[in-house]
Amino acid sequence: MKYFSLLPLFFCAIAWAQQPYYDDVDLTLTGQDLYFELQQKIDDASSSFTYGDIRDTVKETDEDPSNSNNVLLVFGYNDSDGNCTTDRSRDKDDFGGLPCEYNREHVFARGNANPDMGSVNNGTTGIGADPHNLRPSDQQMNNNKGNRKLASGSGNAGVVSGGNWYPGDEWKGDVARMMMYMYTRYGDRCLPSLNGVGATQGGTDMLQIYLQWNVDDPVSDFEDQRNPYLETVYGNRNPFIDNPYLATIIWGGPTAEDRWDLFDTPTQEWNSTVTLYPNPANDAFWVTSISEAVQMTLYDMQGRVVLKAHTSPNEPVSTAHMSPGMYLVQLTSEEGQTTRRIIIE
């Protein structure tokens, strides 16, 4: 495995996670080190939780926020077209394998894992019963998806080019964060390319499409309700729901939502008001709220220096020669040092 790497010096001061679950996780780590740290953390989960337990669990984790009598169905998108296969919401008690009932969908298909997850029954434990990979789904929609690999698309869920499966605009972020969890917890057994198609992020095993979906479809209140309940009944959480930006730190790619402000905690009070403007930037940016020249060093997300110079108040920093992406800007003066993030478009 290869992983995205950052310079640890940028994480000398960090805003701790909102959830106490992560209090013993070293969030100053990056790339491969953070991947293994999170892997160790989330692997500490119930060994007795069963596939049968999912039936009651989803009534809590997947409860429809608009109707507490219902669950939301992954890949669903229309409750008024007269076709129950496309239903988005359904009565919690309509569970089963008959038409217009819902069942338990392994979003990372059981047969796509290597080795596969095997058959399941109500007493199954382990990977086949991991609740972070199981969602309610209309039984016919579940069959339509089957073992198809995930691929790019737009609009509603369904089969796309090459016989692959697009999860739908509403669900693609949820699905991406599930795939990140499965790869982090189970390693190469759930390699992203086993259950999805497309290019990998340079130097890593993570699919670019998952990283993009993680950005395009942010965490919703519905998705947020999963982790607190699963931490109680199963013993772990999906870190990429709690903070999608963890994926950026580990694998790179487009910048996901940073729900914990991991990059934005100043290291010295003197520069607590220092900002980069505009951000994102096109051809140039300015360092605001400085009264004297400061030493500036720009790093790309592989830790390479791309610019080192002094910048003064009201002096633009040209970015015309830089490739689009995220960069880290380290600013140093006689009063201290801080690091800011800049996105170049």
- CB–CB of 117/128 below 8 Å? yes
Which pLDDT score is estimated for 264? 53
pLDDT value of position 13 = 35
The answer to whether the beta carbons of residues 79 and 87 sit under 8 Å apart is yes
Ranges 25-39, 73-87, 162-176, 216-230: which has the least confidence = 25-39
Domains located in the chain, CATH noted = 8-251 (no CATH), 269-344 (2.60.40.3080)
Band of residue 263 on the pLDDT scale cut at 50, 70, 90: low
pLDDT of residue 66: 96
pLDDT in the model for residue 28: 82
Determine contact, residues 290/258, Cβ cutoff 8 Å. Answer: no
Angle formed by the axes of helices 54-61 and 226-233, nearest 10°: 150
Q: Are the CB atoms for 301 and 327 separated by under 8 Å?
A: yes
Helix 31-42 × helix 172-186 angle, to 10°:
90
Q: Write the pLDDT tens digit of every residue in 282-301.
A: 999 988 877 788 888 888 76
pTM of the predicted model as reported, rounded to 2 decimal places: 0.77
Q: Indicate the residue type of 2.
A: K
The percent of residues above 90 in pLDDT, for the chain, comes to 68
pLDDT for 194 beyond 60: yes
Q: Which residue has the higher pLDDT, 341 or 200?
A: 200
Query: Which region among 14-18, 143-147, 187-191, 261-265 has the lowest average model confidence (pLDDT)?
Result: 14-18
For residue 17, the model assigns a pLDDT of 43
Q: Specify whether the CB–CB gap between 173 and 247 falls below 8 A.
A: no
| pLDDT tens sequence across 132-169 | 999 999 999 999 999 999 999 999 999 999 999 999 99
pLDDT for 267? 42
* Mean predicted lDDT score pLDDT of the chain: 89
Confidence of residue 18 (pLDDT cuts 50, 70, 90): low
Kindly give the pairing relationship between strand 102-106 and strand 294-299: unpaired
pLDDT of 303: 65
Please report, rounded to a whole number, the percentage of residues in the chain having pLDDT higher than 70. 90
**Average confidence (pLDDT) over 309-334:** 85
